[in-house]
Amino acid sequence: MKRLVIVLCFASGLGICAGWVGAQPPGHGKGHSGNLLMDLRDVLIVGAGPSGLATAIAATKADLSYLILEKGALVNSLLHYPKHMVFFTTPELMEIGGLPFVSPNDKPSRMEALNYYRRAADAYHLDIVFDERVLRIERETIEPAVGPVFAIESRSKLGVRRVSHARTAVVATGAYDVANMMGVPGEDLPHVSHYYTEPHPFYRKNVAIVGGKNSAAEAALDLYRAGARVTIVHRGLAFGDSIKYWVKPDIENRVAEGSIAAKFNTSVVEITPTAVVVDSAAGREEIPADGVFLLTGYRSDPELLRNSRIEMDPATCGPVHDPQTFETNVPGLFVVGAVVAGTQSGRIFIENGRFHGEVAIKGVLAHVRRA
């Protein structure tokens, strides 16, 4: 059981704050004196996506004390993917902690993946605090005898601020929370979204989808099959090559037969409450739209990284880190999973990001042993 303690955080300069204690597995108490160090863990992990969970499993196997702080639900990004989505990856490439992902399908559905990661979290008794957003990770020395530790400032869904302490920290915050903005007027209107979930609300309605990659193609097909009138707007000359091999002929044939309208080599200039205004070689045009999905990709959120004094790579807008160890410029502070890629979110998948944690935990061990 976790207990919430209220302590005075003089060292972190945060005034009165709250922290979690008692969440470590038995036998992990470090025996430090003083309230401030009651919650000191070997590693604090930010984010309960596949990479954060794999990191926690690696920490468990290395007999390290840890805690995961997650701003939403378990595998929160996957939870918010399109409801009927099917992964392009075969199940075994999504496995963590050596636990078999059994599915009757070549490609698992989102529901199967949610179920699998719940089972994995239970199998390893992973210690996770949900609805707790990490705001800042600050390296500080609370007690000279203990050496530098991290103060991790977080805020719960109810607005309660807490500070947890750990010798090291691993940021596994993914790359799904910040959408690539188009910067056109009307992008913030209520019927405009950067995230597609399900088709039913758009039955017999006009929907405009902006984008030419997999998410745009899949959303267009899903909406069309649920009775929406769909127009795809894409600035490229054709659909992207990265579209799933079983989706590409489907979308191309629907466009060829006229079931789904597609405007290539076309740019959005404005979104109004009833239309998307576009420019192409044919001139300016208004496409009627009751709903608009801007499916132009996502990137990692730089705010926590910047607040934690992690240097950012201007080329990728991702965190500067050692690719061999995943350690950042802040000693003892690691980044794993999709967050490392910055704007190049198509570089890291569950398939490869799930192995980052094991590597980072080796670095964590080195810090903890030194302390």
Ligand X SMILES: Cc1cc2nc3c(=O)[nH]c(=O)nc-3n(C[C@H](O)[C@H](O)[C@H](O)COP(=O)(O)OP(=O)(O)OC[C@H]3O[C@@H](n4cnc5c(N)ncnc54)[C@H](O)[C@@H]3O)c2cc1C
The footprint of ligand X (CB under 6 A) covers: 46-52, 69-72, 75-77, 81, 85, 87-89, 133-134, 172-174, 176-177, 215, 301, 304, 337-338, 348-351, 353
Minimum CB distance to ligand X, residue 79 (Å):
8
**Residue 280 or 307 with smaller CB distance to ligand X:** 307
Cα–Cα distance for residue pair 104/111, rounded to 1 Å: 13
How far apart CA 271 and CA 28 sit, in angstroms, is: 56
Closer of 208 and 336 to ligand X (Cβ): 336
How big is the chain by its Cα radius of gyration, in Å?
Answer: 23
Nearer to ligand X, 69 or 230 (CB): 69
In angstroms, give the least distance from the CB of 337 to ligand X.
Answer: 2
Q: How far is the CB of 146 from ligand X (least distance, A)?
A: 25
First to last CA, the chain: 27
The CA-atom distances, in angstroms, between 35 and each of 1, 5, 166, 231 are 18, 9, 14, 60
> Is 53 or 146 the residue whose CB approaches ligand X more closely?
53
Q: How far is the CB of 48 from ligand X (least distance, A)?
A: 5
Minimal distance, residue 72 CB to ligand X, in Å: 4
Cβ(307)–Cβ(328) under 8 Å?
no
Nearer to ligand X, 186 or 337 (CB): 337
Q: How does DSSP classify residue 35?
A: G
- Judged by beta carbon, residue 12 or residue 300, the one nearer ligand X is 300
Min dist CB 293 to ligand X, Å, is 12
3-state secondary structure 110-156: HHHHHHHHHHHHHHCCCCEECCEEEEEEEEEECCCCCCEEEEEEEEE
Q: What is the DSSP letter of 309?
A: T
